[in-house]
Chain A
Amino acid sequence: MNMIVCIKQVPDPEAPPASFKIDPATNKVIPPKGVSPVISPFDENAVEAALKIKDAQGGKITAISLGHNLLRDVVKKPLSMGADELVLLEDEAFAEGDSWTTAYALAMAIKKIGSYDLIFCGRQAADWDSGLVGLGIAEILGLPSVTLARKITPGNGKVTVERVTADGYEVIETPLPAVITVSNELGEPRYPTIKGIMAAKKKEPIAWKPADLGMETAKIGPAGQHAKLMKLFQPVRESKCELIQADTPEESGAKLALRLKEAKIL
């Protein structure tokens, strides 16, 4: 089983909201000081999905990441968790792209890798929250896709996927190769082991540039953008919380009930 997992480096979504700042002049996020970027959490779920299959029936896992200023310690995390190879598409030319340029570049890299049965992506990235790239890769490569997976069982040239729905789940069967986007319901990603971290440190990532992938320049970076960002802003929230004060927590609980009654909310 040859598996590919697409991962994205993003600002840590667990950073306190107060540390989140935007530069209105450039419509860009100012990276918070002292907070390291991370692999987008749903992408870690996608790595875990591939590792579960590797545990059960063996196989090779190749992680791919696209971006610029990729921190080695961050993007090597799939290797330390148990992935076999890491391909980095790192180039200035990829800056200012969007989901369309990203999906195209990743699809071209997957084509270059050549042999794949399953391609995993997180259901959406923690920065733009779109959930477009996985389905874009599937469309560009002409592969079937299943989104929002919580359980993935390959066998007999097919894969059976439990897909999360609003009120439960559905079980979908699809032929291989296929693209699957993974949701957090799959379960917590494993922690890297010491052995894994040591092995990852020694492992040199494979680096490919746009020219290595035979990419059309009109489909890279700003030239390939489909959506135009007009404005990025932080909605202004006025805090007007009425704190219930009392001598003990028990008293404050009782006072809260009375206050809600008074405000006609209860």
Chain B
Amino acid sequence: MAEYKGVMVFGETVEGKLSPVTAEMLGAGKRLAKDLGQELCAILVGGDVSGFAQEAVALGADKAYVVNDPLLKDYQTDAYVTVMEKVVKEVMPRILLLGQTTIGRDLAPRLAFRLGTAVSMDCIDLAIDPGSKLLLQTRPVYGGNAQAVFTTELYPQMATVRAKAMSAPERDASRQGQIINIEAGLSPSAVRTRIVQKVTEKVEGIKLEEAEVIVAGGRGIGDANGFKQLEEVAKLLHGAVGATRPPCDNKWVPDSWQIGLTGKIVSPNLYIAVALSGASQHMSGCSGAKNIVAINKDPEANIFKEARFGIVGDWKKVLPAFTQKVKELLAA
């Protein structure tokens, strides 16, 4: 029987580039491959994704597999699961990593069930066990209240990786690697779903994932109007506004503002948490922030355990004074 070997990273592209989480997985994958004494490869699937193969090599891949097919232009579960099943059976990677993204959340579980293997979702740490050489997969569970380490003896050992949990490698444009095309072999009848429409909700100003300053509000903000004050501070500091789940569920702010386990993962330099308790589910999305500032009237709120600076008080009184002082400091 042929042996499962090497580490494979499922690459995704965003706005004409390999996505940041793809680079982060190539960084982590390189380390795992080294520990196994095996190769790192990337797999790129899409309508025409050959152009990204060299970039994957520059980011550390020894090989880049490419599957181009018009049926793969947009992500669809049936098409991608079928193609990835074929790729895995041909290449037989020991480890397969995907991003914990809109695609990875859909593709990885179904592919794992198709292949009869296990998958650990949303991993924040991956390591090779020195004894068994199995992949140790660490992931937050219970809404971030705990972490679990999983492994499996089934192959390929699959995991999805949380954005910003691992470091991207240095880019080396001179690196050489092998680029290999694989036929999709996909028949249109294999794809049962149809994409009717794709709607992108335009973000005004700075994207949450890229913001260096984020002002986030929770249930305690009370209404849509309250968030206007948060927007004012964010604008002043060239940042973005985020929210916990309740303000989104209550339609005070757009769903796309949600930060947390099932929302956006952010890592700003400054995170001003206003009238939010700091539930684990929310902290899962912002624990990468360098400096958390908490404003909350409940001294027992969990957010004070996570924050570097805190004010116990009514945000409606604290925030305007803070904003005023920031204006003065910026003008000076």
- Expressed in whole angstroms, the Cα–Cα distance for A265 and B308 within the complex equals 11
> Contact mask A175-191 → B, CB, 8 Å, 1/0?
10000000111011000
Judge whether A214 is part of the interface by a CB distance below 8 angstroms.
Answer: no
Q: Which one of A103, A124, A146 lies within 8 Å of B193 (CB-CB)?
A: A146
B325 near A253 with CB under 8 A, answer: yes
Residues of chain B within 8 A (CB-CB) of A215 are none
What does DSSP make chain B's interface, helix, strand, loop or mixed? mixed
CB distance from A244 to the nearest CB of B (A): 5
> Contact mask B280-315 → A, CB, 8 Å, 1/0?
110000000001011000000010111111111110
Judge whether A69 is part of the interface by a CB distance below 8 angstroms.
Answer: no
Residues of chain B within 8 A (CB-CB) of A131 are 105, 109, 121
What does DSSP make chain A's interface, helix, strand, loop or mixed? mixed
Judge whether B197 is part of the interface by a CB distance below 8 angstroms.
Answer: yes
B317 near A253 with CB under 8 A, answer: yes
Q: Which one of B198, B305, B323, B329 lies within 8 Å of A258 (CB-CB)?
A: B329
Q: Which one of B136, B146, B237, B311 lies within 8 Å of A252 (CB-CB)?
A: B311
A: number of interface residues (CB 8 Å): 85
B305 near A226 with CB under 8 A, answer: no
Please name the residue on chain B nearest to A147 by beta carbon. B106
> Contact mask B164-205 → A, CB, 8 Å, 1/0?
000000000000000000000000000011111111110100
A167 near B200 with CB under 8 A, answer: yes
- Expressed in whole angstroms, the Cα–Cα distance for A143 and B217 within the complex equals 40
B203 near A167 with CB under 8 A, answer: yes
Please name the residue on chain A nearest to B283 by beta carbon. A17
Residues of chain A within 8 A (CB-CB) of B192 are 144, 174-175
CB distance from B19 to the nearest CB of A (A): 10
CB distance from B226 to the nearest CB of A (A): 16
B280 near A17 with CB under 8 A, answer: yes
Q: Which one of B113, B294, B329 lies within 8 Å of A135 (CB-CB)?
A: B113
Q: Which one of A170, A249, A261 lies within 8 Å of B197 (CB-CB)?
A: A170
Judge whether A213 is part of the interface by a CB distance below 8 angstroms.
Answer: no
> Contact mask A14-55 → B, CB, 8 Å, 1/0?
101110101000000100000000000000000000000000
B148 near A231 with CB under 8 A, answer: yes
A226 near B143 with CB under 8 A, answer: no
Judge whether B318 is part of the interface by a CB distance below 8 angstroms.
Answer: yes
A168 near B200 with CB under 8 A, answer: yes
B: number of interface residues (CB 8 Å): 84
Judge whether B224 is part of the interface by a CB distance below 8 angstroms.
Answer: no
Do A136 and B113 form a contact, CB below 8 Å, given A166-B101, A231-B148?
yes
A258 near B146 with CB under 8 A, answer: no
Judge whether A243 is part of the interface by a CB distance below 8 angstroms.
Answer: yes
- Expressed in whole angstroms, the Cα–Cα distance for A138 and B294 within the complex equals 43
- Expressed in whole angstroms, the Cα–Cα distance for A231 and B120 within the complex equals 14
CB distance from A221 to the nearest CB of B (A): 16
Judge whether A218 is part of the interface by a CB distance below 8 angstroms.
Answer: no
Residues of chain A within 8 A (CB-CB) of B311 are 243-244, 249, 252-253, 256
Do A229 and B322 form a contact, CB below 8 Å, given A13-B142, A20-B142, A237-B306?
no
A20 near B145 with CB under 8 A, answer: yes
A242 near B309 with CB under 8 A, answer: yes
A254 near B150 with CB under 8 A, answer: no
B121 near A132 with CB under 8 A, answer: yes
Q: Which one of A124, A135, A234, A252 lies within 8 Å of B145 (CB-CB)?
A: A234
- Expressed in whole angstroms, the Cα–Cα distance for A148 and B113 within the complex equals 18
Q: Which one of A22, A228, A235, A252 lies within 8 Å of B152 (CB-CB)?
A: A228
- Expressed in whole angstroms, the Cα–Cα distance for A148 and B262 within the complex equals 10
A171 near B105 with CB under 8 A, answer: no
Residues of chain B within 8 A (CB-CB) of A11 are 142
Please name the residue on chain B nearest to A232 by beta carbon. B148
Pick from B102, B154, B261, B304 the residue with the most CB of A within 10 Å. B102
Residues of chain A within 8 A (CB-CB) of B310 are 241-244
A129 near B121 with CB under 8 A, answer: yes
B147 near A256 with CB under 8 A, answer: no
Judge whether A96 is part of the interface by a CB distance below 8 angstroms.
Answer: no
Residues of chain A within 8 A (CB-CB) of B256 are 167-168
CB distance from A192 to the nearest CB of B (A): 19
- Expressed in whole angstroms, the Cα–Cα distance for A256 and B140 within the complex equals 32
Residues of chain B within 8 A (CB-CB) of A206 are none
Judge whether B30 is part of the interface by a CB distance below 8 angstroms.
Answer: no
> Could you list some 23 contacts between A and B, CB below 8 A?
A13-B143, A100-B118, A127-B142, A128-B142, A129-B261, A130-B109, A132-B112, A147-B77, A147-B105, A168-B200, A172-B193, A184-B248, A231-B148, A233-B148, A241-B305, A242-B308, A244-B309, A249-B313, A253-B324, A258-B325, A261-B329, A263-B291, A266-B329
* 4 pairs of A and B residues whose beta carbons are closest in the complex: A253-B321, A257-B325, A253-B322, A249-B317
